[in-house]
Structure 1
Amino acid sequence: MTVLEVENLKKIYRPRFGGNQVQALSKVTFSVEEGEYVAIMGESGSGKTTLLNMLAALDKPTEGEVYLDGKPLSAIREKDLSKFRRDHLGFVFQDFNLLDTFNLKDNILLPLVLQGVDYRKMNVRMMPIVKELGIAGLLEKYPYEVSGGQKQRAAVARALITDPRLILADEPTGALDSKSTDELLGVFERINQSGQTILMVTHSVKAASKAGRVLFIKDGEVFHQVYKGEQTDEQFYQNISATLTMLATGGERQ
């Protein structure tokens, strides 16, 4: 089943007070199937962040459409967008986006509070997630009292708590050390193996090598893609590295 479908997405930024317009995306088309783990890579300025904002309904395309479970995002009324994102999407950011005035438990439960879920049901939903992520003993601590890796695990728990159709991860390992990166990538692998669909934007070849498919964005277009298939992480790492080199040196589209 197709969870996410992107059709001929185009984004042009037009300055309010004259100047040259900037085309950030051009005819981007791809789909993500249920249970897939897809990484998006490309150089800075290639359009990755713009694309992610379109997928999250944080920005609107100039042309084209994004569908989630067959429903066009353009059909969602402006006043309903926040609720749509909260109910259907989970977000994991590079800088965690945790509230320092809330402990980890309250940060994780915040989406359920906003949904109006009965408090008695919140812990029932939360505990299996935090146990799986290894942070059950940290729930009363505040973000400034735990490590970067632990903060990111709390952010992942917050993303998972609503049982989203799609996890959107924006450079999730960017602020982590090597050990925390390995731990987080292990978490992503496990939640994907449990059936969670993940789309991750990353500069990290190591992070991308854990995905099942990598899309490469260049000059606002999907330039190429590679599938992991039966490759080991190391083989896929080398494949991704070679493709990035091709993009950087002006290689031909494949």
Structure 2
Amino acid sequence: MQTPFEIDGLANARDLGGLERSHGPSTPAGVLIRAEVLDRITEAGWNRLRAYGVRTVIDLRRPSERTDSVPSDIASRHIDLDGDERHFWQSREQDGQWGTPLYYVDHVTELPHRLAGALDEIARARTGGILFHCGAGWDRTGLLAAVLLKAVGVTEDAATQDYLSSFANAEGMTRLHGRSFDVDERLTVLGRLGHTPESAFRAVYRRLDIDAWLAAHLDADTASAIRTWRGSVS
């Protein structure tokens, strides 16, 4: 069962601990946390994150989106996971795939340096928990979460339920952040492409060949850190 996680000022945050793996115990809590934009976290929320052990924040947004909301005692790193490669994004922005998991496999295949940069930051982060986020905590965060879960053998069912939590949290996100997170548009795009949110994520998760990707694009130490969640998974 996924580890409960509530922070004042976040509506789409969750600890990736407590998820079933194909072999061995469930994923450990307090290692990797996913979330949306951090701008509304209250002082109490940041204190809760500190008490929970979070020592590093990794912002996956584009440079134009970034805001300065991380307290100085928590390490802050920025990685543009999307990138600005127009040859990759133009068609996906036009057909709406950018807001679905359907671009994940193509992204890690065609733009491997983007994912490699994020994984390198995770591997090199200071001791303690890592919170990674984008704007909605849904697409870029979802891509990185899927890779991290697949790397330690989280089952397809457990990974899918984690992804679907963003749909369940959308109404709360709208109330908290005062804007739409385009649920209807996401569903429309997926339906046009013959998918539901669940079927789309499952199809992508099955196709992610993370062991081969890690071997091809990361040095041995970084790959080992990702495969073991920084030594917390045997």
Higher strand share: 1
Structure number having the greater helix percentage? 2
Same-fold call, TM > 0.5?
A: no
Q: Normalization by structure 1: what TM-score?
A: 0.30
